[in-house]
Amino acid sequence: MKIMVITPHTDDMVYGTAGTLLTHSEDEKHIIAITSIQRSAAEEVAAALGSSIQFLDAGYKQIGCEVDRLRPRLLEIIVAMMPDYILAPPASGDWSPDHVATGRLALEAAAESGILGNWGARFLRYPIPATTLEFQANLWIDLPVELIERKIELAAIMTRGAEDIWPHEVVEWEMDTQIRFAHELGWPSKHAEGFDALFKVPFKRLPPRNQSLAHLHKTHRDIVRTLQQGATIRKGQSSLNK
């Protein structure tokens, strides 16, 4: 499979997706960092995840001002790769403007690319622990203990050189915030990554794209259009944000 991760800042994807990427060691993975801060550390983490990475060089805290410039570039990358899964932050419920702007940018580019229609690709949202305040997962990836330890190591790499403002205790706190997804799964799960998927899929691994049900494609497209209009989806119902 081909898995694409779109991250606002280079460290954001580690907490929400690194464990999932590690469980897909044999699959093709590509990370799109909208900004290029902590670039060398991000390249090291990507290599450890078995992933390629590229940077779109948006300004830090300026992503919302640059979406018109970024959208065609992101669209071109998506069309070239044709991923089976796109993982991106949510477009609402996060207090960081960079994160929200990236979530909407990713959704718009994915919808425009056509991969959510006949191609049947899946679009998953992942929370960024420090800033995503409203998030309800409906898909979980259960992580074995050894991957949890590896994920902590990768998160620490992203803080290298900035320990005075981002100490190891903060890294551990970021990790601990996602233990709640393991609680939703119940024993014997110790740690899990949670995603907001348009359609639920089994939590052990991401299933191949072609196992999607063809008759859901129209419904899938309708949900995407609703989300693009500023809607929130909860338990099969949508309501437009005023």
pLDDT in tens, 137-178: 888 898 888 888 899 899 989 888 777 777 778 888 888 888
d(CA 56, CA 204): 32
Query: Is the pTM here over 0.85, yes or no?
Result: no
Q: What CATH number does residue 120 fall under?
A: 3.40.50.10320
Is the predicted pLDDT of residue 24 greater than 50, yes or no?
yes
Closest CA relative to residue 138, chosen from 199, 86, 192: 199
pLDDT digits (tens, 9 = 90+) for 62-84: 999 999 999 999 999 999 999 99
Mean pLDDT rounded to a whole number for the chain? 85
By residue count, the chain amounts to 242
For residue 185, the enclosing domain spans 2-240
Model confidence at 233, pLDDT cuts 50, 70, 90, reads: low
Please state the domain count of the chain: 1
DSSP state of 41: H
Q: State how far Cα 85 lies from the chain centre.
A: 10
Q: Which pLDDT value is given to residue 236?
A: 45
Lowest mean pLDDT among 15-19, 77-81, 196-200: 196-200
Q: Which pLDDT value is given to residue 235?
A: 45
Tell which phi-psi region holds residue 114, choosing left (phi > 0), alpha (psi between -120 and 50) or beta: left
